[in-house]
């Protein structure tokens, strides 16, 4: 009997110990779950500090060089190419002969037209002398004159056709591509392509600038230009075009004309940089990282870190200075702004700062 009582007490004690351990484990698990839940509820972000700095208002913009003159020209008359006088890479001047087309029939036509004109001119001279003595009427004289004028027009056209047998360069530049060879047959419809000519004595660099930068630019401004392949050389350019309307990225296209050097080092298609120098001295500006803005700078909204939470603030942005933006109103020096993770934030969201 006594032994049974002892066994029962031991069992009850064991059960009590097990219950205590289970309760303790449950509390620990709940605490861990709460910590995990709290951590998962926060958004990981990176931060930056608003500060006033000495800022240069100079800026650069990149683009590609393009030729000021570029032409693919085609045959005006039909015929067979008998000689090509240039090759790809050659420099040609305007009016220079590039190819010769077979001219047998054209030359015969020109000779016939010349003979017709000479006969018509002689007839008119005889009629004119006869008219003075009353040998022919005024009407006969006028008809002879008309025949001479028509023959002269036909001769002029025939001579033009003879000239067209020599295909000439319409502009000066380099032969960038040749489409014909001796024996090629030229057609007028559709016209046969002959040559690509590119003039790189002058080039234009096409770049874009934002609205705060375009306000300081004027046509004719002198701009320093460099090419990535010639880091030790610089070229002088002049603004020849400023767009009156922004493109789809809200930037304004600008074209800068550059005179190439004597050796034509710059080639169309090269990557170039325009360096726009501001006439203003460095200024003390309150600035913030450009990627602090929610969406884009035009949204004028920034998340500020306050007591572990993200607070959405309305600000007034000024000039865009590369990867920085001038702040005119809405933020004070020393405030902490969130620069990554905004897509997952709402006003009042808890945040976890990544260091």
Section 37-65 average pLDDT:
80
Q: For residue 281, name the pLDDT band (cuts at 50, 70, 90).
A: low
pLDDT, position 176: 93
Section 135-149 average pLDDT:
85
Percentage of the chain modeled with pLDDT above 90: 35
Tell me what the pLDDT averaged over the chain comes to: 83
Q: Could you give the CA distance from residue 166 to residue 84 in angstroms, rounded to a whole number?
A: 10
Q: For residue 36, name the pLDDT band (cuts at 50, 70, 90).
A: very low
Section 295-304 average pLDDT:
88
Task: Domains for the chain: give ranges and CATH numbers.
Answer: 44-57+282-353 (2.40.420.20), 103-162 (1.10.287.470)
Q: Could you give the CA distance from residue 240 to residue 202 in angstroms, rounded to a whole number?
A: 12
* Helix (H/G/I), strand (E/B), else coil: 204: strand
Q: For residue 179, name the pLDDT band (cuts at 50, 70, 90).
A: very high
Higher pLDDT, 16 or 157: 157
Q: What is the pTM of this model?
A: 0.56
Tell me whether strands 59-74 and 43-49 are parallel, antiparallel or unpaired.
unpaired
Q: Could you give the CA distance from residue 183 to residue 160 in angstroms, rounded to a whole number?
A: 23
pLDDT over 50 (residue 89): yes
Total residue count of the chain as it appears in this document: 355
Q: Report whether 52 contacts 287 (CB < 8 A).
A: yes
Q: Could you give the CA distance from residue 179 to residue 183 in angstroms, rounded to a whole number?
A: 12
pLDDT, position 39: 47
- Please write down the HEC assignment for all residues of 178-231: ECCCCCCEECECCECEEEEEEEEEEEEEEEEECHHHHCCCCCCCEEEEEECCEE
pLDDT over 50 (residue 38): no
Q: Could you give the CA distance from residue 296 to residue 298 in angstroms, rounded to a whole number?
A: 5
Percentage of the chain modeled with pLDDT above 70: 83
């Amino acid at each position: 009997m006594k032994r049974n009582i002892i066994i029962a007490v031991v069992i009850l004690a064991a059960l009590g110990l097990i219950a205590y351990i289970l309760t303790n484990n449950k509390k620990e698990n709940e605490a861990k779950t709460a910590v995990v839940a709290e951590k998962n509820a926060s958004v990981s972000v990176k931060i930056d500090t608003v500060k006033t700095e000495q800022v240069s208002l100079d800026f650069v913009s990149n683009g590609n060089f393009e030729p000021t003159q570029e032409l693919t020209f085609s045959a005006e008359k039909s015929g067979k190419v008998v000689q090509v006088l240039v090759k790809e890479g050659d420099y040609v001047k305007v009016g220079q002969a590039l190819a010769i087309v077979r001219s047998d029939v054209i030359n015969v036509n020109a000779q016939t037209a010349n003979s017709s004109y000479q006969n018509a001119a002689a007839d008119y001279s005889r009629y004119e002398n006869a008219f003075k003595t009353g040998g022919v009427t005024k009407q006969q004289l006028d008809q002879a004159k008309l025949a001479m004028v028509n023959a002269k027009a036909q001769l002029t056209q025939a001579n033009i056709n003879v000239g067209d047998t020599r295909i000439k360069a319409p502009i000066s530049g380099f032969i960038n591509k040749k489409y014909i060879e001796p024996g090629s047959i030229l057609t007028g419809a559709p016209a046969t392509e002959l040559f690509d000519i590119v003039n790189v004595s002058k080039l234009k660099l096409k770049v874009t600038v934002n609205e705060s930068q375009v306000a300081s630019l004027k046509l004719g401004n002198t701009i320093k230009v460099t090419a990535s392949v010639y880091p030790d050389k610089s070229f002088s350019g002049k603004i020849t075009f400023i767009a009156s309307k922004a493109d789809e990225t809200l930037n304004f296209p600008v074209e800068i004309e550059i005179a190439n050097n004597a050796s034509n080092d710059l080639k169309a298609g090269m990557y170039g940089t325009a360096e726009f120098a501001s006439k203003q001295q460095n200024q003390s500006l309150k600035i913030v990282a450009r990627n602090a803005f929610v969406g884009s700078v035009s949204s004028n909204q920034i998340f500020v870190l306050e007591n572990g939470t993200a607070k959405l603030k309305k600000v007034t942005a000024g000039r865009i200075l590369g990867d920085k933006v001038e702040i005119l109103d809405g933020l004070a020096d020393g405030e902490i702004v969130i620069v990554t993770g905004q897509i997952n934030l709402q006003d009042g969201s808890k945040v976890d700062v990544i260091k």
